């Protein structure tokens, strides 16, 4: 059993989210209590071609362990080669295989959730990766199926368990659903009941109450939090605090939240690859929008965030937002 599930531990994972859960964001989530993290997915073939951008994506710090690196692809040989290369260079705590991505560019390679339509091949890829890295655990992340008429989570769960995967994360939506609608927790519960390996449930978890409810209703061994952490990475701290003391702690002030965003920006721009390629902050605008989404009055600053080029622009947006909120607070 993977150590982070042993002795009744119930780990909270930060879900891998391409273009968002970079090394600095993960650092912050770890400080807030995320137990296990996985890098954004990287294409196995591209990794073996030694693309420096991808090696930046899979980089992590010792403090972030236990840390998994996620790969996607459909060719058992290149998936195995990429996993071996990652283990030799980085010694992650586990290799995670993505069989859930619904993006067209991934589906057209027959990878990600496309593999849910071909469970036999999915098993071959899993087995090849497991055999390539006998010294490192392999885990798998799936969706419930391709569409409502082909829910295959249970079948796929049995296959990957049989091939030697040591945990299974299930995003409770189908490929066709994308990110819409409710996550299908009954299916996740059913698979968690059936498998011997730990099942990590994922989909629309946004509060400590959600965690308690899912703990009561399923046999999941851990949970994975995605979009709720993007706008509010303190969610891990809140959940841990609630599980321990039964109350949610005071949220960070708006000033503290902005301080975190500005600190994050400075750190990410100091990363070697980013610094080389981006002279301004335009590429970070989607991150700013995601990071401020849950804040009071965030809609009003969205336009200004879309104009941010330099750190000074970001600081100005922050000051204006803080001042505006203080003003509306005092006039209440
Ligand atoms: C912007 C974005 C990028 C994502 N990238 C990945 C990825 O690289 N690998 C992966 O397995 N899942 C990826 N996902 C899916 C999430 O890991 C997670 O399964 C999904 O968001 C459902 O969880 P949530 O409802 O808590 O957000 C991504 C999701 C989003 C929104």
67-72 and 36-38 strand pairing:
parallel
- Number of domains, the chain: 2
Task: Please tell me whether residues 18 and 57 are part of one structural domain.
Answer: yes
pLDDT at 276 over 70: no
The domain boundary, picked from 184, 214, 245, lies at: 245
| Averaged confidence pLDDT in the chain | 96
Residue 62's alpha-carbon distances to 90, 93, 318, in angstroms, are 10, 10, 32
Q: What is the dihedral of CA 250, 256, 261, 267, to 10 degrees?
A: -120
Residue nearest to ligand 1 atom 29, measured at CA:
17
In 3D space, the residue among 285, 316, 117, 153 whose CA is nearest the CA of residue 293 turns out to be 285
Residue 203 Cβ < 6 Å to ligand 1:
yes
The domain boundary, picked from 210, 245, 280, lies at: 245
* Omega cis (within 30) before 66: yes
328 band by pLDDT with thresholds 50, 70 and 90 = confident
Residue 15 Cβ < 6 Å to ligand 1:
yes
Task: Please tell me whether residues 204 and 311 are part of one structural domain.
Answer: no
User: In a mutational test of the pocket of ligand 1, which residue from 12, 16, 233 has the highest number of ligand atoms less than 8 Å from its CB?
Assistant: 16
pLDDT tens digit sequence for 176-187: 999 999 999 999
Q: Mean per-residue pLDDT for 3-18?
A: 97
Residue 28 sits in a domain whose CATH number is 3.20.20.70
Task: Please tell me whether residues 170 and 289 are part of one structural domain.
Answer: no
pLDDT at 275 over 60: no
Residue 16 Cβ < 6 Å to ligand 1:
yes
Q: Mean per-residue pLDDT for 90-100?
A: 98
At residue 274, the pLDDT reads 63
Task: Please tell me whether residues 84 and 202 are part of one structural domain.
Answer: yes
Nearest ligand 1 atom to the CA of 202 is 23
Task: Please tell me whether residues 168 and 315 are part of one structural domain.
Answer: no
Residue nearest to ligand 1 atom 6, measured at CA:
17
**Long-range contacts, stretch 44-49, CB < 8 angstroms, 24+ apart:** 44/71, 44/72, 44/73, 44/75, 44/78, 44/79, 44/81, 44/82, 44/83, 45/73, 45/75, 45/78, 45/82, 47/71, 47/82, 47/85, 47/86, 48/78, 48/81, 48/82, 48/85
Contact 231, 290 (CB under 8 A): yes
272 band by pLDDT with thresholds 50, 70 and 90 = confident
Residue 20 Cβ < 6 Å to ligand 1:
yes
The residue segments making up the domain with residue 217 are: 3-245
Residue 206 Cβ < 6 Å to ligand 1:
no
Task: Please tell me whether residues 156 and 124 are part of one structural domain.
Answer: yes
Locate the DSSP E strands across the chain.
12-14, 36-38, 42-43, 67-72, 94-99, 138-145, 168-174, 199-202, 222-225
Query: How far apart are alpha carbons 250 and 241 in whole angstroms?
Result: 11
The domain boundary, picked from 245, 269, 284, lies at: 245
pLDDT at 258 over 60: yes
Task: Please tell me whether residues 169 and 208 are part of one structural domain.
Answer: yes
Task: Please tell me whether residues 212 and 70 are part of one structural domain.
Answer: yes
108 included as an active-site residue = no
In 3D space, the residue among 104, 44, 103, 38 whose CA is nearest the CA of residue 72 turns out to be 44
Task: Please tell me whether residues 38 and 86 are part of one structural domain.
Answer: yes
Task: Please tell me whether residues 89 and 212 are part of one structural domain.
Answer: yes
d(CA 127, ligand 1 centre) in Å: 24
Q: Mean per-residue pLDDT for 76-84?
A: 98
- Find all residues with CB under 8 Å of 285, minimum gap 6, and list them: 305, 306, 308
Task: Please tell me whether residues 241 and 260 are part of one structural domain.
Answer: no
Task: Please tell me whether residues 237 and 295 are part of one structural domain.
Answer: no
pLDDT at 52 over 90: no
Check 101, 108, 162, 220 and give the catalytic one. 101
Contact 106, 114 (CB under 8 A): yes
Residue 100 Cβ < 6 Å to ligand 1:
yes
- Find all residues with CB under 8 Å of 227, minimum gap 6, and list them: 17, 179
Nearest ligand 1 atom to the CA of 40 is 8
Contact 311, 248 (CB under 8 A): no
């Amino acid at each position: 059993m993977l150590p982070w599930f042993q002795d009744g531990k119930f780990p909270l994972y930060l879900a891998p989210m391409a273009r968002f859960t970079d090394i600095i964001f993960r650092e912050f989530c770890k400080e807030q209590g995320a137990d296990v993290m996985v890098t954004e997915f990287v294409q196995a073939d591209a990794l073996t071609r030694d693309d420096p951008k991808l090696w930046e994506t899979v980089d992590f710090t010792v403090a972030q362990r236990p840390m998994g690196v996620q790969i996607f692809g459909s060719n058992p040989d290149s998936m195995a080669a990429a996993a071996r290369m990652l283990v030799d260079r980085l010694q992650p705590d586990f290799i995670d295989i993505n069989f859930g991505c619904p993006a067209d560019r991934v589906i057209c390679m027959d990878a990600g959730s496309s593999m849910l339509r071909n469970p036999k091949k999915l098993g071959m890829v899993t087995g090849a990766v497991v055999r390539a890295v006998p010294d490192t655990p392999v885990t798998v992340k799936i969706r419930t199926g391709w569409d409502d008429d082909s829910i295959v989570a249970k079948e796929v769960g049995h296959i990957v368990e049989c091939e030697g995967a040591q945990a299974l994360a299930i995003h409770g939506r189908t490929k066709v659903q994308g990110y819409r609608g409710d996550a299908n927790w009954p299916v996740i519960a059913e698979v968690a009941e059936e498998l011997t390996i730990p099942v990590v449930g994922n989909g629309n978890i946004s509060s400590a109450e959600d965690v308690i409810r899912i703990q009561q209703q399923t046999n999941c061994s851990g949970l994975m939090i995605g979009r709720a952490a993007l706008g509010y990475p303190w969610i891990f701290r809140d959940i841990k605090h609630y599980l321990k003391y039964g109350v949610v702690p005071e949220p960070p002030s708006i000033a503290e939240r902005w301080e975190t965003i500005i600190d994050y920006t400075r750190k990410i721009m100091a990363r070697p690859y980013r610094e080389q390629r981006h002279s301004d902050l335009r590429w970070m605008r989607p991150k700013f929008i995601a990071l401020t989404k849950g804040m009071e009055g965030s809609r009003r600053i969205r336009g200004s965030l879309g104009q941010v080029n330099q750190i000074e622009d970001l600081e100005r947006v922050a000051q204006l937002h803080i001042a505006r909120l203080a003003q509306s607070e005092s006039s209440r």
